[in-house]
Structure 1
Amino acid sequence: MIVGILFALCAGLFVGVQGIFNRHVNMKVSSWAATAFILATGSIASLVVGLLLDGTAIFNFSDMKPAYWLFGLVGIGVIFCTMTAMRKIGPTKTIVIGVIAQLTTSMIFDMTGFLVLPKVTLEWTHIAGLLLMIVGIYLFNYQKKETNA
């Protein structure tokens, strides 16, 4: 479990840092060009690291359902929407709102067993935690308007 928590913390760190890098790319080119660039560089890096760590075993897709080939298209939506949001509201708000959307979606998928996930019972603590995060985001982003004297 500790290893999983460490990887989750690293993922959050990477998302925060990537958001800043992506914003810089997005300021120079369109969101679509930024999306293509980010996916291309990520694909090349994944391929190189995968080959170094796992060798040609990374190309074994024999147990993968054909529908799963389309799931990579979701990444296009993730990056394009993130790039566009960062341009409009900045990296911090984009990431925070994105995390709430992820938690909400994951909670719904867990409750319904969507995509063959094991069903999880919704408890009041799940809803309370989500609402607490939403309130926290509001407080984090609340800015009192200053009046010039």
Structure 2
Amino acid sequence: MIIGLLFAVCAGVFVGVQGIFNRHVNMHVSSWAATAFILATGSLAALIMGLVIDGTAIFDVSGMKPAYWLFGLVGIGVIFCTMTAMKKIGPTKTIVIGVIAQLTASMFFDMTGFLALPKMDIGWNHIAGLLLMIVGITIFNMKKKTA
């Protein structure tokens, strides 16, 4: 459990830092070029780390449905939308709103069993927690009026 929590915290930190790095890349090239560059460097790094840690076993896709091979394309949307949002509203708002959208989508996917996920019951406490986060981001984004 502790290891899972630590990895979740690291993932959150990586998402925040990656968004800022992506924004800097995007300041020099178009959003599409930045997306391609970021995915290419990430893919190369993942390939190297996979080979170092797991060896050639990383190429065993025998148990995976061919349709799943295309799911990596979602990463294009993640990076492009994150960079575009950061240009428009800044890193902090982008990440916080993204987390709320991610939780909302995940909650919906859990409730409906989307993409063959096991259906899960969502209680009032889950919905209340999500609403509390939405209220929190609204308060966070309120600007103080200056005279």
Normalising by structure 2, we get a TM-score of 0.98
What is residue 113 of structure 2 aligned with on the other side?
Answer: 113
Residues 1:52 and 2:30 are matched in the alignment: no
What is residue 61 of structure 1 aligned with on the other side?
Answer: 61
Q: Map 1:1-149 to 2 at 5 A.
A: 1-147=1-147
- Provide the rounded CA distance (Å) in 1 between the counterparts of 2:103 and 2:91: 18
Structure 2: unaligned runs, 5 residues or longer: none
State the Cα deviation string for residues 78-133 of structure 1 (Å, max 9, x = none): 11111111111111111111001100000000001111111111211011000000
- Provide the rounded CA distance (Å) in 2 between the counterparts of 1:108 and 1:34: 31
SS at match of 1:79: helix
Amino acid at match of 1:55: G
- Provide the rounded CA distance (Å) in 2 between the counterparts of 1:14 and 1:45: 15
Q: How many residues matched?
A: 147
Amino acid at match of 1:65: K
- Percent of aligned positions that are identical: 80
- Provide the rounded CA distance (Å) in 2 between the counterparts of 1:39 and 1:79: 8
SS at match of 2:88: helix
SS at match of 1:71: helix
SS at match of 1:97: helix
Structure 1: unaligned runs, 5 residues or longer: none
Normalising by structure 1, we get a TM-score of 0.96
RMSD over aligned Cα, in angstroms?
0.7
